[in-house]
């Protein structure tokens, strides 16, 4: 895919007017050009990846960083990835001496990662004749298996060592050539070797395109002008965020919400936040949240930062460029050793996919009083993670299938919630039935809207989904889901959405499953997931 040739007048329009300010039109043009680089990286990754999870569901994110490792542009990909990726990029920069042609790789949740299946790759961009990196490109993709105690690496674990292969920052490519020892080490720790290698190479290919497009932009516009634009965009996001916070009545706004449990008997698990707003700044304090737990719903610091980044961006009345400047006016307090800032060796797979959603819920609930005209009721509040793996006797290969299942969207002032959408910290698609049945030893037996599952009120919440599939071979099932006990709340008197339901249908008998579990499946067993609806807004008239 080729980037359109830049306009001839672009260079002259990028006149630096002061230390960090550009002409408004030129700034908007540069913002879109930088974001387009990240978007094109995403197109390359999605089209060249091997696994359905990346190719079909688009479970990946791409971004561009300046020479200090600060986020300057990102594509509209996965919120839970993008707010945390800067921490991984900086970890790679600090721990490795990256040279031209090098690519770093890591997935360590305690080095800016999210959970082990999410592998981040980072490439420095060196301009001709320069000895220091001008910028960095990075992407993060969810690999459908990264080892661990169960296929899919999303098992009901009690420590990170059970969840899969943990990779600190290492060089995956050196001088443009694969580091074979690192590749072999990585591939030896997954059940689906060919799939992992194909996805890794797709990630590297996307970085190469991002680096080429960035260098081409610099050649067209000028090194100093692009660097100035990067700084100006961060400062612009800072100013917009401060303006948005000044439009909110000063005060301290508090809320509490709960995770159902951790899968090992601990629950409900409280998350608490107090948001102090004043003078164009905010302090987001999660003190009082539960201590980290035995199960995998612990969120590391990067996850909590990501969720806070997302909610703060949503608060702005106008579009704020999603870069590092957005968080400058915001201070986050997340006490170590708690459910929102777990310490190793905590298991964290569910923290990424489930606790991230509840952090968003509790932040929005706190802001509902301060910005009642903009805050929606709770959406489904879970990614309803379904992982099935085993040996495919039909195709003579191992397989690992991963899916997040959409739910209902919370209603908002003036309109009802949509049905069957991935919300908040996930922004993926479903695996199309045709792709799923062609690639895995499974068939879809039911897939529809779960009518009536949204909350009722002046504006109804959106409905969840029903997704039922039959396993054709002996398999291992891992479920990580929430809102199976605590319902998605409504606002302004609106009703709550229905809780979700998980069932195993074995020989015609339906067996209710907990929200978090590991189960062995026999050929012919069916798994039925009914996802939660969204909460309603306003009392029914």
Segment 299-313, tens digit of pLDDT: 999 999 999 999 999
* Confidence at residue 340, expressed as pLDDT on a 0 to 100 scale: 98
Average pLDDT value over all residues in the chain: 94
* Confidence at residue 317, expressed as pLDDT on a 0 to 100 scale: 74
Strand bridging mode 251-259 / 269-278: antiparallel
How many other CB atoms are found less than 10 A from the CB of residue 396? 7
Q: Is 381 in a helix, a strand, or coil?
A: coil
* Confidence at residue 16, expressed as pLDDT on a 0 to 100 scale: 41
Contact 244, 317 (CB under 8 A): yes
The runs of H, that is alpha helices, within 316-388 are 349-350, 356-367
Q: What is the CA radius of gyration of the chain?
A: 23
Q: What is the pLDDT of residues 374-395, one digit of tens each?
A: 999 999 999 999 999 999 999 9
Distance, CA of 529 to CA of 391 (rounded, Å): 23
Average pLDDT value for residue range 387-410: 97
Q: Is 253 in a helix, a strand, or coil?
A: strand
Q: What is the pLDDT of residues 150-169, one digit of tens each?
A: 999 999 999 999 999 999 99
The runs of H, that is alpha helices, within 278-399 are 301-315, 349-350, 356-367
**How many Cα atoms occupy the beta-carbon half-sphere of 485 within 13 Å?**
15
Query: Could you tell me the two tokens for 416?
Result: 């009802």
How many other CB atoms are found less than 10 A from the CB of residue 194? 13
Residues 6+ apart with CB under 8 A from 184: none
Average pLDDT value for residue range 227-244: 95
Report the number of secondary-structure helices (H) and strands (E) in the chain: 12, 20
Average pLDDT value for residue range 23-32: 89
* Confidence at residue 19, expressed as pLDDT on a 0 to 100 scale: 42
How many other CB atoms are found less than 10 A from the CB of residue 326? 23
* Confidence at residue 394, expressed as pLDDT on a 0 to 100 scale: 95
Average pLDDT value for residue range 416-423: 97
* Confidence at residue 21, expressed as pLDDT on a 0 to 100 scale: 59
Distance, CA of 57 to CA of 402 (rounded, Å): 10
Q: What is the pLDDT of residues 470-497, one digit of tens each?
A: 999 999 999 999 999 999 999 999 999 9
Average pLDDT value for residue range 222-235: 96
Query: Could you tell me the two tokens for 370?
Result: 């301060």
Query: Could you tell me the two tokens for 398?
Result: 């191992």
Comparing CA positions, the residue from 118, 124, 268 lying closest to residue 199 is: 118
* Confidence at residue 26, expressed as pLDDT on a 0 to 100 scale: 86
Q: How confident is the model at residue 400 (pLDDT cuts 50, 70, 90)?
A: very high
How many other CB atoms are found less than 10 A from the CB of residue 213? 22
Extract long-range pairs of 255-259: CB within 8 Å, 24+ residues apart.
255/362, 255/363, 255/365, 255/366, 255/368, 256/362, 256/365, 257/358, 257/361, 257/362, 257/365, 257/486, 257/489, 258/358, 258/486, 259/297, 259/339, 259/354, 259/355, 259/358, 259/482, 259/486
Contact 312, 330 (CB under 8 A): yes
Strand bridging mode 170-174 / 177-178: antiparallel
Average pLDDT value for residue range 4-32: 58
Q: How is residue 305 annotated by DSSP?
A: H
Q: What is the pLDDT of residues 165-219, one digit of tens each?
A: 999 999 999 999 999 999 999 999 999 999 999 999 999 999 999 999 999 999 9
Q: What is the pLDDT of residues 80-93, one digit of tens each?
A: 887 889 999 999 99
pLDDT of 18 higher than 70: no
101-127 CB burial, b ≥16 within 10 A, e <16: ebbbbbbbbbbbbbbbbbbbbbbbbbb
H/E run at residue 29: helix 24-48
Contact 458, 537 (CB under 8 A): yes
Tell whether pTM > 0.85. yes
The runs of H, that is alpha helices, within 271-394 are 301-315, 349-350, 356-367
Residue 520: phi and psi, rounded to 5, are -85, 130
Contact 233, 31 (CB under 8 A): yes
């Amino acid at each position: 895919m080729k980037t359109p040739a830049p306009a001839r007048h672009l260079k002259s329009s990028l006149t630096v007017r002061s230390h960090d300010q550009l002409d408004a039109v030129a700034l908007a043009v540069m913002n879109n050009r930088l974001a387009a680089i990240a978007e094109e990286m995403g197109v390359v990754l999605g089209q060249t990846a091997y696994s359905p999870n990346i190719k079909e569901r688009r479970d990946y994110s791409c971004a561009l960083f300046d020479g200090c490792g600060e986020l300057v542009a990102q594509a509209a990909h996965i919120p839970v990835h993008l707010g945390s990726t800067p921490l991984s990029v900086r970890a790679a920069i600090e721990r490795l001496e990256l040279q031209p042609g090098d690519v770093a790789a890591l997935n360590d949740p305690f080095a800016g990662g999210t959970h082990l299946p999410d592998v981040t790759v980072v490439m420095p961009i060196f301009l001709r004749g320069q000895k220091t990196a001008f910028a960095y490109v990075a992407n993060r993709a969810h690999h459908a298996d990264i080892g661990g105690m169960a296929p899919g690496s999303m098992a009901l674990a009690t420590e990170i060592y059970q969840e899969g292969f943990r990779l600190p920052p290492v060089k995956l490519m050196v001088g443009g050539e694969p580091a074979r020892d690192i590749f072999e080490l990585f591939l030896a720790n997954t059940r689906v070797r060919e799939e992992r290698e194909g996805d890794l190479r797709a990630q590297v290919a996307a970085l190469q395109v991002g680096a080429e497009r960035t260098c081409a932009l610099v050649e067209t516009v000028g090194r100093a002008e692009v660097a100035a634009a990067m700084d100006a965009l961060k400062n612009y996001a800072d100013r917009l965020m401060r303006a948005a916070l000044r439009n909110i009545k000063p005060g301290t706004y508090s809320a509490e919400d709960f995770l159902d449990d951790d899968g090992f008997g601990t629950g409900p698990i409280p998350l608490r936040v107090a948001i102090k707003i004043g003078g164009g700044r905010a302090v987001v304090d999660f003190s009082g949240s539960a201590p980290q737990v035995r199960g995998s719903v612990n969120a590391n610091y990067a996850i909590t930062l990501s969720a806070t980044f997302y909610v703060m961006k949503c608060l702005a009345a106008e579009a704020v460029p999603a870069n590092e400047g957005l968080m400058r006016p915001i201070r986050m307090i997340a006490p170590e050793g708690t459910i929102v800032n777990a310490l190793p060796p905590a298991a964290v797979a569910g923290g990424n996919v489930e606790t991230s959603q509840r952090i968003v819920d509790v932040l929005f609930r706190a802001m509902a009083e301060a910005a009642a005209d903009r805050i929606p009721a709770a959406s489904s509040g879970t990614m309803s993670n379904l992982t099935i793996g085993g040996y495919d006797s039909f195709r003579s290969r191992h397989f690992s299938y991963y899916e997040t299942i959409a739910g209902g969207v919370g209603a908002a002032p003036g309109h009802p919630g949509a049905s069957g959408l991935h919300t908040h910290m996930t922004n993926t698609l479903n695996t199309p039935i045709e792709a799923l049945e062609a690639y895995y030893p499974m068939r879809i037996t039911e897939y529809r809207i779960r009518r009536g599952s949204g909350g009722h009120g002046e504006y109804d919440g959106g409905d969840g989904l029903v997704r039922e599939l039959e396993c054709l071979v002996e398999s291992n099932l891992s479920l990580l889901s929430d809102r199976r006990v605590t319902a998605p709340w409504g606002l302004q008197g609106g009703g709550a959405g229905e809780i979700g339901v998980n069932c195993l249908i074995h020989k015609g008998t339906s067996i209710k499953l907990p929200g978090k579990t590991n189960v062995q499946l026999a050929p012919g067993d069916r798994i039925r997931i009914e996802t939660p609806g969204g909460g309603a807004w306003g009392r029914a008239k």
